[in-house]
Structure 1
Amino acid sequence: MRLEAAERFARGEKAEAVARELRVTSRSVRRWRRVWEEGGADAQRSKGPASVERLSAGQRERLECELKRDPLAHGWDDEFQGWMLKRVKLLIGRMFHAGFTIQGVWKLVRRNRACRNARSSAASNATSPARSTVRSSRRRPLLPGLLPLDAT
């Protein structure tokens, strides 16, 4: 989108017109124009992710293995024996001494699922993996298929 804006800047289009057509704020387009004027179209390219992942690939694999075990194995012995986001958050804190918010755990779980699905679909065209029962701490509806708890 920024590269398209840079092409429009080169053609002499006004910031408001670019913002309207790209459906972004005028402020963003003015910022992009300033960067373009200082460094050209190459300055508009992405500089990479804004932050570093908090868990390494090895830690994510280890977490996945621990999540295959039920919550009872980790000390939760109440009536609901499924993984809730709050429990996953606490488990990450215990295992890796890393603090996550509930929203951060949700994003981590969703990203891991997407990566795993991409790997499994590339490896074979088998049926989709079994769905897990992850719940948030606010007792929202089940979040099917978020944690890779199957043994594939």
Structure 2
Amino acid sequence: MTAAGRQRREAVRRQAAELFEQKIKPLEVAQRVRVSRKSAYRWHQLWRDGGIEALVSRGPSGSRCRLSPRCLEKPAAYLEEAPNAHGWVEDQVWTAARVATPIGRKFHVSYSVSGATRLMHRLGFSPQVPVRRVAERDEEAVKVWKEATWVEVKGPGRPAGATSASRTKQASPADRPEAGPGDDAHTPRS
């Protein structure tokens, strides 16, 4: 969660505590601050037990970052560089596994792929779908090919009336067979 998101959540909790102090029921508090009823009742219980301080966030949940705040600046700088600066020459895409490798080399801290992804989010990076285009791509040649050659290669396609679709309707009793498989009820057993 971003710092702005944490601040918003904190403000909502403080607003809820102020409403509880005014003797407003949790159900109405939930509607006013636009949270679930479950959250409002949980917050009300916390507020009753410990006051407004009980509703104050204790910071982000989960395990703490393995890198110190001073060290967090370096991975961000690595991500600003191209992957070839760290040994990957086949393509220039940072993957979570690739991010974990130089961090492990430089700081002797191992990150899983999901941990590296969370670290990237913490640093302000988000996953991107790489544009898969050749560096030497000639846009004009592609346009000409699409207009001239592709029309010939593509073919006309299927005509609109060639498809088949019908509504399914229940068969009338007259269309049903008189005896179906396993329908030997009228035959005596031996």
Q: TM-score range by the shorter chain?
A: 0.5 to 0.7
Q: Is the 8 A contact 1:15 1:29 kept in 2?
A: yes
Cα distance in 2, alignment partners of residues 57 and 19 from structure 1: 37
1:27-69 Cα distance to aligned partner (Å, 9 max, x none): 1111111111111122222223334222213322332444455
Map 1:27-106 to 2 at 5 A.
Answer: 27-50=38-61, 51-67=63-79, 69-78=81-90, 80-96=91-107, 97-102=109-114, 104-106=115-117
Q: Which has the higher contact order (CA 8 A, sep 6+)?
A: 1
Pair 1:108 & 2:119 matched: yes
Number of positions where the alignment pairs a residue of Structure 1 with one of Structure 2: 118
Q: TM-score, normalised by structure 1?
A: 0.60
Identity of aligned residues (%): 36
Distance 1:11 1:67, change over 3 A: closer
- CA gap 1:15/1:55 in 2 versus in 1, 3 angstroms: same
In the alignment, which residue of structure 1 is the partner of 2:23?
12
Q: What is the rounded CA distance, in whole Å, between the counterparts of 1:75 and 1:43 in structure 2?
A: 49
Q: TM-score, normalised by structure 2?
A: 0.50
Report how far residue 100 of structure 1 moved.
4.0
Distance 1:59 1:13, change over 3 A: same
Structure with max Cα Rg: 2
Q: Which amino acid aligns with 1:75?
A: G
Structure 1 counterpart of 2:33: 22
Q: Deviations over 1:71-120 (max 9, x none)?
A: 23433221x12433431133323433231434x54453354349xxxxxx
- Unaligned 5+ residue runs, structure 1? 115-133, 143-152
Unaligned runs of 5+ in 2: 1-11, 132-190
Stretches of 4+ moved more than 6 A in 1? none
